[in-house]
Each structure stands twice: as C-alpha cells, then as structure tokens.
Structure 1
C-alpha cells in the first residue's frame, strides 16, 4: 500500500446529520472545490472575533489555492456543514489535515456566529476525532490551536481529554491523543 494511502482517510466519511440544541437540523459532508463561494459567504457572516479565533488573523476569505489544498484528499479531510432546509448555505467548516510531523493531524473548525452555542462545534470536533481513530491509519495525535479566550473551543477540547498548554500567549495549543 502506498504511503499516501496509509496516511489519509481511505474513504469519504458518510454525511453527518446533527440536530442542534434549538432543534435545527444540519448535514455535514465532504467539501468540494465548488463550495468555495458559499464558504467565503460564511466567512463574511462571521465576526472578526470568530475569524481571529480560527485563523489567528482577521481573514475575510480563503483563496482558491487555499481551498483547493483543503479539499485535496491527499492533504486530509474537510467537511462543510449546511442546514438541511438550506443546502447552499454553509454554516461550518471543519478540517483534519496532515502536518509535517509524522502521525499528527491538525484540527480546524469555524462555526458561523449565529450557529455557535448550538452544540455543533462539539459534535463536529468529536466526529473528526472519531474519524482519526477509525479511518486514519497512521494518526496518533491531533493538534489544535485556538485563542486563549475562546472558552467554547477550550471546553470542547477539554471534553476530549486534550492536553491544553497555556503559556500566557494569545493562543493555546492542544494535543488530543488518538492512538498510543
């Protein structure tokens, strides 16, 4: 088996249906190159604080090149989440991407402000960790970086038994063990 096949998910994950705390139904599916427009529209609906918490910069959009990288299955898995009743409106983007470090993936998630606090981030993060445990053959750990004031994400990470390192910096690094 080629090293490329053993280092990424072997299958596209099944779409994930989530009922939020306010009973809104969403579907998360593998991202496509054609989703970039809707993803950038979601970025425009996100506050500066939300974008900064995700990117550690005030990103307004992703470039075609960046999105193509995120959608390339050789680099990892990217999911888009849409409301069931509005399948062209992206409300969350979740990534589990390869890193230069062997056996380590990086988790990234951005949930549109109006959908935060609905349990979506918790479910999507747990889903990606489960995918890493189930399908990513050589993944032993997942890293995540977030703002030190991003209490929602810190709570999600702690709920997954992540080692969270506070160094008095504006960002926090977390490590989730997948396999020993």
Structure 2
C-alpha cells in the first residue's frame, strides 16, 4: 500500500487561511482514505449533506480508489501545515460522461469553514479544469447554501438546474482563474 506523502512535493501548494493558519494542499493518494473518512466523521450532518446530498460518513475503498484515479480526474487533500497526517478538506474535480464537462465537489471540515479555505479550494480546480480539456464545471449544492451560491456567482456561475432543495450550477473555465 502506498503511503501519503508527508513532505511538500512538486505541485503541492500552500493556502493561508484568513485567520492566519497555514495549510498545504497536495494530490490525494489511496492511502488518504482513512484521513478523509475522519474529516467526514468530524463534520456535522449539514456539512456532509451539502457535500454529498446525503449525510454520508465515508467513502468505500473502491470509491476512494476511483476518486484518486487520474483517469477519473483530480483529487486533492488539504491539511494544516503543522499536521502532515491530519486532513481537513478534500477537493474533487472529476470528469463526467458529458464531453468537456467536469464536476467539482469540496468538503471542508466544520472547524475550518468561514476562513476562506473553500473559496481558494474552488479556484484552483477551475484553473486545472482547462488543462484537463474541460470547458465547464458543475457544482451541486443545497438551495440554502448561501456561501457556496455567493462564491459561485462571484465566479460567473449560472444555474443549470434547480429542483427541490438542490441547485446545479455551471462554472465557466478559463486559463487565468487564480
């Protein structure tokens, strides 16, 4: 079994939180599944529901293996800079069956929300989407998730579909998203 890297690798990046805490984001590997499951366990049902549209608590081995497969897209994990084995967020940019279209999903641990991390974690995949040949990226969120809806609007998203409590947004992809 492969080990999760504990030192900064090429492609890793630092994301400072608005409150001054430092984080590092790197590509996810299969060995991160346990740490990402722990993020789910530390999040409240509302956060998990907003991410999965259910109160799901973990990914199975086969699901996580699929999420970390480069054939499927890109997945990153984020951790505090001083805690190499403690994951606080997972970000997925996945290919969809629709040509040149991706899907974005982010889960940020409750204790790390409202410090600008989600905003920064959303911007990087939009830049990577262009490199993967995607022209647009979808984000599915709850109708009452005002923070994500506001962020998506600031990134020029448009509503693709809204049914029940869910809103499916389309985010444009450009080369210069930062």
Does TM, normalized by the shorter one, top 0.5? yes
Runs of 4+ in 1 over 3 A off after TM superposition: 165-168
Q: CA deviation at 1:43?
A: 0.5
Shift in Å, 1:166: 6.3
- Taking the aligned partners of 1:18 and 1:73, their CA distance within structure 2 comes to 23
TM-score (norm 2): 0.89
Q: 1:1-180 alignment to 2 at 5 Å? A: 14-133=11-130, 135-136=131-132, 138-165=133-160, 167=162, 169-178=164-173
Contact 1:53 1:150 in 2 (8 A): yes
**Residue of structure 1 equivalent to 2:3:** none
Greater RCO, 1 or 2 (C-alpha within 8 Å, sep 6+): 1
Segments of structure 2 that go 5 or more residues without pairing to the other structure are 1-8
Tell me what 1:3 maps to.
Answer: none
Q: CA shift at 1:85, angstroms?
A: 0.6
Asked if structure 1 preserves the Cα contact closer than 8 Å seen for 2:36 and 2:87, the reply is yes
| Distance change >3 Å, CA 153–CA 14, structure 1 → 2 | same
Cα pair 1:82 1:89 within 8 Å, conserved = yes
CA distance in 2 between partners of 1:167 and 1:106 (Å): 16
Deviations 1:153-178 (A, max 9, x none): 11111111100256352000100122
On the 8 A contact 1:82/1:91 being kept in 2, the answer is: yes
- CA 1:170–1:36: 2 relative to 1, 3 Å: same
Which residue of 2 is the match for residue 9 of structure 1? none
Q: Distance in 2 between matches of 1:175 and 1:122?
A: 16
Number of residue pairs the alignment of both structures matches: 166
> Partners of 1:38 and 1:90 in 2: how far apart?
6
Q: 1:43-65 deviations in whole A, cap 9, x for unaligned?
A: 10000000000000010111001
Q: Secondary structure at the match of 2:46?
A: helix
